[in-house]
Structure 1
């Protein structure tokens, strides 16, 4: 009897080729489109509707059943409210990581299992390896497209039931397979931006949901040099859109801190300015792929944002359950609210949410986000 796989089909080329490979491998495949967000963009278009139609067209080509399921409430409750709450704290969240943790590998998985599926499948560039009854998350073979960063908070139940059909391929191979099989999405461009925001104006989107107030921009010496449009519009390390020009040496300015209580934005001039760098961080809410903390202290590598090069670190577990992560060398623009993902070579160990950073120079400690 064929194993039943419910494929999360997004309307993109990656999940389309995943469907093709699953069918060729002899699985009983059912395509399921998740509707997580229905708001129209600034052009009056609901991209979810377009994506669903693209996914349906590919499913018809492949001769597999196609259904849609609405997870908008779950998405709002578990991901979007988290996203807004983090911005209220002055942090910069990663909702795509939370979408995987709460929706794709939780709500979607539970729904699929209720339909007596043996597995779920997703078009992510990642791999699962089983050894002695434990399931490990590995990077995808295409290091430029590897998405293990976004999957770093899923556990054993999900991994034991998940297939990543394109994890061993690179993007060029995926495109080639789509074109050779004349799939409807073969030349569809990859989606960019946060899942529910897409490519619209990000600041405009935030202003719809959160109150903003203008305030002063200060340099690291405390001198007022401009006005900001609301602290939610800025993130640590940001260079563009600050609105400061013709001041100082002529080098670009970067965001280096926020004070929420006094509504202040701190900036420093020059991409090598020490205020941009930290030497360690505190990470909260750690999640381990094996659902058990490794032996500490742990020597491994970390990524503090997607596509960042691996950074050698030492990790320790604090008494309060948080992680203390010390970098071998100073790192630029480590941002509270983002995800610190830990690796042992190609194995993803898990991740934590960056709570605070320790500046390279103590004299810049006042620049840390303060409520």
Structure 2
């Protein structure tokens, strides 16, 4: 009997080719698309979400596989959107894709797939899952430029055993080539780079429209507390920011800190945003359950950052101290720090504080 795999379909080239590859490998493939936000009307009564769903359905028809739509709007709002809003209001800069992977794609989605009798779930992400002895491990993708392992440090063994990511074995160019060869219209579809529920990328405007909390203007200050001017609300700023500050001081200045309890934005010179040490919370490891001793790794402080040499060590309450061998630019509370041993994803956590 064929193994059944449910593929998360976005209507884009990666998930479409993932479904094709798995079908070619002999799996019984089902396409499933999640509706996670209502979206704005863009064509008649069709919303952005409706168009995504229609595109995914069309791909499934082209591949001659069943299509299923599920509604996870409430779960997405509770676990991803509300967390995103609250983090910004509290002076941190969250990564909503990591929260979505943790609570939606590999939790709620997995449960829905298992209810359909799936043996596996699959996505179009660029990462590789391999079983080594008694553990499932995650390795960087063949295409280092497209690698998405940063997003998966929260994965648990009971999730990884169900997960297939066939695109991780190919370059992006090869994936597009597959799509063109089999006649998929999405073969040249542009990659999405914005936050899915904020298509205009204006997160400040989105937060204002989706919270009943008051977003008040406050003071720009220097590191000594001297008032330099007025800011429009801390939700509009992040560590390291230079552009869009709305203040002229006769020299370049950068956001060096955000103090939510005082509603203050601290400005300073660029050298002040370079740090070497941080504390991470909500830490998860993949090759092992718990970090027992110091460990030398490479680490990334954001998705787009280059891995840098660091030493990690356990501290109280299950947290981890990270000491980089060289200063890192704009370490930011709320972002994730992720650890590697060469191509192996070791784990990661949320940046709680900068030392």
TM-score range, shorter chain: over 0.9
| TM-score (ref. length: structure 2) | 0.95
CA contact (8 A) 2:42 2:48 kept: no
CA distance in 1, matches of 2:79, 2:237: 24
Give the alignment partner of residue 279 of structure 1, picking from 276, 291, 311.
276
Give the alignment partner of residue 235 of structure 1, picking from 234, 238, 248.
238
Q: Deviations over 1:283-322 (max 9, x none)?
A: 1111122460133111111111012111111111112221
Number of the residue aligned with 2:250 = 248
CA distance in 2, matches of 1:49, 1:42: 10
CA distance in 2, matches of 1:43, 1:287: 43
CA distance in 2, matches of 1:23, 1:238: 46
Q: Deviations over 1:149-184 (max 9, x none)?
A: 111111111111110011011111111111121102
CA contact (8 A) 1:244 1:253 kept: no
Number of the residue aligned with 1:316 = 313
Q: Deviations over 1:329-363 (max 9, x none)?
A: 111100000001111111111111100001xxxxx
Question: Is the counterpart of residue 51 in structure 1 residue 52 in structure 2?
Answer: yes
Kindly report which structure 2 residues correspond to 1:210-359, keeping only aligned pairs within 5 A, or say none.
210=211, 211-245=214-248, 247-249=249-251, 252-269=252-269, 271=270, 273=271, 275-290=272-287, 292-358=289-355
CA distance in 1, matches of 2:335, 2:316: 22
CA contact (8 A) 1:41 1:200 kept: no
CA contact (8 A) 2:93 2:334 kept: yes
Question: Is the counterpart of residue 203 in structure 1 residue 204 in structure 2?
Answer: yes
CA distance in 1, matches of 2:138, 2:150: 10
CA contact (8 A) 2:7 2:32 kept: yes
CA distance in 2, matches of 1:288, 1:195: 27
CA distance in 2, matches of 1:216, 1:118: 55
Number of the residue aligned with 2:182 = 181
Matched position secondary structure for 2:317: coil
Q: Deviations over 1:97-132 (max 9, x none)?
A: 010011111111111112111100000000001111
* Higher helix content, 1 or 2: 2
Kindly report which structure 2 residues correspond to 1:32-111, keeping only aligned pairs within 5 A, or say none.
32-40=32-40, 46-111=47-112
CA distance in 1, matches of 2:25, 2:262: 60
CA contact (8 A) 1:336 1:357 kept: yes
1:61: how far off?
Answer: 0.6
CA RMSD of aligned residues (A): 1.6
CA distance in 2, matches of 1:165, 1:348: 17
Matched position secondary structure for 1:185: helix
CA distance in 2, matches of 1:5, 1:229: 49
CA contact (8 A) 2:292 2:314 kept: no
Bigger drift between 201-210 and 138-147 goes to 201-210
Matched position secondary structure for 2:144: coil
Aligned length: 352
CA contact (8 A) 1:42 1:200 kept: no
CA contact (8 A) 1:144 1:307 kept: no
